Chain A
């Protein structure tokens, strides 16, 4: 039976087309993915269902029907009865989608008070039961708690509980796990699929991640720049894409092991971390200073010249903190970091200046890492601005990253991928010996990710710098790194050559991580979560 039907839906803002004549159907109980990169209109399509479009954005043509009733023409009071009760929505950002000022109980109960006439003890009973279903420990206590007391994954599970309490026929999940780490992602999605199956809800999963599409959905709609590219079963789209864009999307996924040569043991050790511990100041009491909290506990690692070493771990595992400490941006509580054999803390002023030029950092978020008030050429020139040939070097490095004519632009005039190229140019212009790359592609679209990775690899092999590549994405690790270090809760769980570790993980945590990482194996009934 057709649950949801898009019929020639067009969305515009002041004359600009955002979504063009989108038509597709979705059956009851189906798991459908809407796939696309940023700017594809996938979120707008989802929001249009509930008529939650941003101001100045209008649906100008077409109809959206739920069980044969047109949501597009529905009156506001009628629509309010549909929202929540028949269509539930889970948003991307669990940190902001729960109201921080009221208790979980009130947020959970709100929908039922609006849509169901139930006595309050019955509402509470159902809340507790649902929290148990989403595996929140001690549900009674949870009801009295506030959102800030929970981690991102738990909040998203609570969000899921609040939406599914009303047993909607359609659950819209807009990038529900993009803000979560791999393990929480898996937990949330599996719960979502399981609960949807039990309550008979259909799931419209909006995502940019083809791995999730392969694992959790049966059909997919592919969008690019507001246009429908392809509709089909997940299997067909992933194994035999008909549309050129879809093919490009599928091809740009990192898969298999990259062609990465291991560096010989004779290569000089550029970065040598020995038993590093890092602490954050704890929460101070009224009269006593807080007990420091250890976030990195006795980590030792080495990176040799010309080598890319991947540092993987879930969020909160301390991998980014370690990356900062290695550059001397965060003090060590114990242990030693040596750069080219010299202890960071015992460097002379001149050595320190040298070190600042030869150890560079590429950040995760290309929006916050570039000063919005400087032009690209000034941003890139930061480390070489006193050199006599600074201008020529800036121009040369901009050409290398494919941004030759972008020198006089400001960051806001560039796309995310272009900004990340600027960040890379800034890091390599001084011909560094070491580059720390902190999740450099995880904020980018899939097709852009691939381009940036290829660029980074090219520069790395050209200049032979050592690279510590921090990431949570195991597919990226496979593609570019020779060795991998797996961090868990502040210490090293396992390290070794990528192929060895991934094929035969020794540590429990590594196994879980590998298991939770969605990969693009051809989906078969056996590997997909059974429905």
Chain B
């Protein structure tokens, strides 16, 4: 049931993105100062912002940009973090010590501060946000994955794999990886939410996606001065973020169960 709600929400999101590629009611960046801050009505379903831009069109484009950034950042952080975590946890020894030292060093910085510093170096663009957030998140993935691998590697089927003549790489891919999927899925869904929010925090600090391109994050931060006169400016991107997070979490839980043969039967 929850899985179906998740599929519905994510489906709606994807539909919005696809439709946005083909058609939007207005040019999302077209300024119309004569109609600034007009409330939701038949010609502007979600109203207009302080420059008279159509909020619906901006949300549709924002969906594409925000989701791409969050997906990219989480995908990169999870793949790099999982690879390093499995290596550290399975091989132990010097590999482990070295990787954990680097991980702990990165973890010592607050994530947002690190991302800010990286953005300053890389310049603000979509791909550098993805990169900065991935670096900020990867260490926590490494930690979680390594911890899980440490317990998996003591199970006897790992030893059985060695007895069967598998090399370390094959054991890691065939026996370790599938068994650490549940915590990774949970982690990925929660990171996805953090990524959406961090992107808005970076926008707020002026190093996010450069204007006038809309993201849900910078729409939300730009709406703050008008909260009392034009509440829809906050509500629309807020609902978008909340709905997407809910959808991702529900879908993540369903995915985790579906991937586990013990729960599938």
| Interface hit among A57-65, A157-165, A353-361 | A353-361
Q: Does A410 contact B (CB under 8 A)?
A: yes
- The reply to whether A329 and B157 form a contact with Cβ atoms under 8 Å apart is no
Q: Which of A340-385 contact B (CB under 8 A)?
A: 353, 356-357, 359-361, 363, 365, 368-374, 382-383
Complex Cα distance, B129 from A292, in Å, reads 50
A327 located at the interface, meaning its Cβ lies under 8 Å from any Cβ of chain B in the complex: yes
**Contact between B163 and A373, CB atoms less than 8 A apart:** no
**Would B161 and A382 count as touching, CB distance under 8 A?**
yes
Residue of B nearest to A360 (CB): B163
Are A410 and B261 within 8 A (Cβ)?
yes
| B178 within 8 Å of A (CB atoms) | yes
Contact check, A382 vs B160: say whether CB atoms are below 8 A apart. yes
CB of A483 closer than 8 Å to a CB of B? no
Tell me the residues in window 226-265 of chain B with beta carbons closer than 8 Å to chain A beta carbons. 260-262, 265
Whether A372 pairs with B163 at a CB distance below 8 angstroms is no
A426 at the interface (CB under 8 A from B): yes
Selected contact of B162 from candidates A329, A357, A426, CB within 8 Å:
A329
Of the candidates A353, A363, A368, the one whose C-beta lies within 8 Å of that of B165 is: A353
* B27 interfacial by beta-carbon distance below 8 Å: no
The residue that B175 contacts in the complex, of A324, A371, A410, with Cβ under 8 A, is A371
- Measured between beta carbons, the chain A residues less than 8 angstroms from B162 are 329
A382 touches B156 (CB 8 A): no
Whether the Cβ atoms of B262 and A412 lie closer than 8 Å is yes
Q: Are B179 and A383 in contact (CB under 8 A)?
A: no
Tally of A-B Cβ pairs under 8 angstroms: 60
Q: Which residues of B163-183 have CB atoms within 8 Å of chain A's CB atoms?
A: 163-166, 175, 178-179
Measured between alpha carbons, how far is A133 from B203 in the docked complex, in Å? Answer: 73
Q: Decide: A426 and B179 in contact? CB cutoff 8 A.
A: no
Q: Report the minimal beta-carbon distance from A322 to chain B, rounded to whole angstroms.
A: 15
Nearest B residue to A327 via CB reads: B163
Contacts of B163 in A (CB 8 A): 327, 329, 356, 359-361
**Contact A357-B165, Cβ < 8 Å, known A372-B179, A373-B261, A410-B261:** yes
* Identity of the chain A residue whose Cβ is nearest the Cβ of B158 in the assembled complex: A371
Q: Are B262 and A372 in contact (CB under 8 A)?
A: yes
Question: In this assembly, does A413 line the interface, its C-beta being within 8 Å of a C-beta of chain B?
Answer: yes
Known contacts A371-B175, A371-B179; is A365 also within 8 Å of B164 by CB? Answer: no
Interface size of A by CB at 8 A reads: 25
Contacting residues, chain A, for B104 (C-beta < 8 A): none
Contacts A353-B165, A357-B165, A410-B262 given; does A363 touch B178 at CB 8 Å: no
Q: Which of B33-56 contact A (CB under 8 A)?
A: none
Q: Would you list 16 pairs from A and B whose C-beta atoms are within 8 A, ordered by A residue?
A: A324-B159, A353-B165, A361-B159, A368-B155, A369-B155, A369-B157, A371-B160, A371-B161, A371-B175, A371-B178, A372-B157, A372-B262, A410-B261, A410-B262, A412-B262, A423-B160
B160 neighbours in A (Cβ, 8 Å) = 361, 363, 369-371, 382, 423, 426
Where the two chains meet, the residues of A that have a C-beta atom closer than 8 Å to any C-beta of B are 324, 327, 329, 353, 356-357, 359-361, 363, 365, 368-374, 382-383, 410, 412-413, 423, 426
In the assembled complex, how far is the CB of residue A405 from the closest CB belonging to chain B, in whole angstroms?
16
Partner of B164, one of A363, A373, A383, A410: A383
Residue of A nearest to B178 (CB): A373
Complex contact B175–A363 (CB within 8 A): no
Shortest A270–chain B CB gap in Å is 16
Q: Point out the residue from B165, B178, B262 that lies within 8 Å of A356, measured CB to CB.
A: B165
A461 → chain B, closest Cβ, in Å?
23
Complexed CA–CA distance, A361 and B158 (Å):
12
* Given A353-B165, A373-B179, A383-B165, A412-B159 contact (CB < 8 Å): no
**A-B pairs, 10 with minimum CB distance:** A356-B165, A382-B164, A369-B156, A373-B178, A371-B157, A410-B261, A368-B156, A363-B156, A383-B164, A412-B262
**Residues of B close to A372: CB separation below 8 A:** 157, 179, 261-262
Q: Contacts of B260 on A, CB cut-off 8 Å?
A: 373
| Chain A residues, CB < 8 A from B166 | 382
A327 vs B175: C-alpha distance in the bound complex, in angstroms? 20
| Closest A residue to B263 using CB positions | A412
Given A329-B159, A363-B159, A371-B179, A413-B165 contact (CB < 8 Å)? no
B111-149 CB contact bits vs A (8 Å, 1 = yes)?
A: 000000000000000000000000000000000000000
CA distance A363 to B163 in the complex (A): 11
Which residue on B lies nearest to A383, using beta carbons?
B164
Separation of A62 and B192 alpha carbons in the complex (Å)? 55
Contacts of B159 in A (CB 8 A): 324, 329, 361, 363, 369
Known: A363-B160, A371-B157. A412 touches B261 (CB 8 A): yes
Assembly CA distance A413 to B156 (angstroms): 19
CA–CA, A97 to B83, complex, Å?
38
Instruction: Determine the distance from Cα of A372 to Cα of B157 in the docked complex, in whole angstroms.
Output: 9
Q: Which residues of chain A come closer than 8 Å to B261, judged between CB atoms?
A: 372-373, 410, 412
Q: Which residues of A contact B265 (CB under 8 A)?
A: 410, 412-413
Question: Other CB < 8 Å A-B pairs besides A361-B160, A383-B165, A426-B164, 10 of them?
Answer: A329-B159, A365-B156, A368-B157, A369-B155, A369-B160, A371-B160, A371-B179, A372-B157, A373-B178, A373-B179
Contact A356 B157 (CB under 8 A): no
Residue of B nearest to A429 (CB): B164
Q: How far is the CB of B182 from chain A (nearest CB, A)?
A: 11
- Residues of chain B contacted by A356 (CB below 8 angstroms): 163-165
